[in-house]
Structure 1
C-alpha cells in the first residue's frame, strides 16, 4: 500500500527527513485510520499521523484488537513489539522501524512508522537449480514446489544485514520470523517488523533465517551482546513491558549465546519455520 504525503512531510521511506522527530510525531500526532491490513491475524490498522504540518503513514495495533493465543498471555503483543524496538535501539542496530506506545481511536496500542520502498527479493528468493558459485550468497532453507509443478529451494540472503536480524531474533526469542516480516531497503539495510510473538520465557524461536545456524559470533557481536546484558536503562524499559520471568529469560539467552559462542541452531531437529514461511 502506498500513500502520498503532503508537502514538506516525509513519506514512509526510512530516514527520508532526518530532521523530523519521528517518534514525537508518532506519539503526539493526530492519528487517522485509513484502512486495515486484512491479512494480519490481529487488528492492524493503516493510518496517517500528523503533527505541526508534518505527516506520514504508520501502523497502529490496538491492544483491544489482539486475538487471544494459547501460548502468549492476552493483551501483551503490543508490549512485546515495544520491547523488541527497545532492544534494537539499545544495541545500536536500528532494525525495527520507530515504534511508540500511544492511545488511538481504539484505545492503547503500538504505533509504528510505515516503511515504503522495500523489495523482498533482496532478502528471500526461490532457487530453481542446485546452489552454484553464483548462488552461494543464498542459504537454502526449505524445499518447495512451484506452481508449474517443478521443485525449488526457498532461500534467504547470506549477507550481514540478515545475520544481524538472526542474532536479534535469537535474543528476543522471535517465534514468527517470516520472509514477509523482512523489509529490505534501497540502501542495503534490512528492517524487521511484526514482533508481537517475542520474549516468551520458553524457547519459541521459529525463523526462516536458519542459514546462519552454528556460525561463530564475531568479537563485535560478543561486545554488543555484553553491553546489552549490562544495560541498566534497557532493563528498566523491559521490566515495564515484560514479566519478571520473561526478562530473566532474555538475560539467560544472552548468557547462553556468549557461553556457546555461536548463533543458535535447531539442535538436530527439523528447522522450526513459521507457516506460511513468507
Structure 2
C-alpha cells in the first residue's frame, strides 16, 4: 500500500454520501479526506453485518482486511487498499473505491460452442429464453493470480461482480466470507482446475506459506482466528505438494450464486 493512501484511509475524516443497496450487508459509499487530500471510499461498519451461521468467528470487515494483507504479501496487489478503522457508525473496514470498467473482456456469458480462443469454459447453463449458454473467462494472468489467492484464502464468494477492471489493473473485492477452516471455495475462476501452477505462482505460494508462519500470520491474527491462519497455511502447503490448481468439490457447491 502507498503509505499516503494508508494514512488517508486510516485517519482521514469519512463523509458518507450513499449506500450500495444491492449489498447484503451495510456497504456505504463516501469520501475520506485529510489535509486537503481526498479519495472516494467504501466503508463497511461491523454493526451493519448480518451474522452468518457458518462463519461464526470474527467479522466480515476483519476478513476483508486479512485478504488485503494476503494480497500485499503476495506482491500482486490484487485487492484495493483496505484498512480497519473507526468510522461514523463505529469500527469497520474502509477500502479505496475503484472505478470499474466493463469486465466482459475477461469474463462473460456466451452461447454454447462459441467460446473464443484464449478463453476457458467454466460451466454450462440456460439463458433467460432457454438457450444453452456457457460462462467462460479469459486465460489471463491477472485472473489466474487472483484464483491462486482465492485458494489460499478459501474464498467462498468469487462472483463476477466481485471483479473490478481499471485500465490494465484487475482487483478483487468483497472478501467477507473467506478464511474458513473447512473447504468452502466457490468461484467462477475454475478455468485452470487441475492445471499445473506456473513457476511464478509457485514461488509466491512458497513465500506465503513461509510468511503465514511468521509476520503475516501474526498480522492476520488481529483479524481472523489462529485456527484460520493455520488452515490457510495448510491450503498453501497442499498447493505446493500437488503443484496444481484444485478441482471443484464433488458436492456441486463450487459456484457462488448468483455467479454475477
Distance apart, 1:147 and its partner CA:
3.5
TM-score by length of 1: 0.88
Structure 1: distance between partners of 2:223 and 2:55: 14
Distance apart, 1:137 and its partner CA:
1.8
What is the aligned counterpart of 2:222 among 227, 240, 247? Answer: 240
Shift of the 243–129 alpha-carbon distance from structure 1 to 2, 3 Å rule, reads: closer
5 Å-filtered alignment, 1:255-270, equals 255-270=237-252
Structure 1: distance between partners of 2:252 and 2:128: 25
Cα-Cα RMSD = 1.7
Distance apart, 1:109 and its partner CA:
0.3
Aligned match of 2:26: 43
Aligned match of 1:186: 167
Q: Secondary structure at the match of 2:207?
A: helix
Is 1:275 the counterpart of 2:257? The answer is yes
Gaps of 5+ in 1: 1-14
5 Å-filtered alignment, 1:204-219, equals 204-219=184-199
TM-score by length of 2: 0.94
Aligned length: 258
Quick check: 2:188–2:255 contact (8 Å CA) kept in 1?
yes
Per-residue CA deviation, residues 223-276 of structure 1 (Å, 9 max, x unaligned), is: 111111112221110122111211110110011110011011115453610000
Aligned match of 2:155: 174
Quick check: 2:62–2:93 contact (8 Å CA) kept in 1?
yes
Distance apart, 1:190 and its partner CA:
1.2
Aligned match of 1:6: none
Following TM superposition, where does structure 1 have runs of at least 4 consecutive aligned residues deviating by more than 6 angstroms? Answer: none
What is the aligned counterpart of 2:235 among 253, 273, 278? Answer: 253
Quick check: 1:49–1:58 contact (8 Å CA) kept in 2?
yes
Gaps of 5+ in 2: none
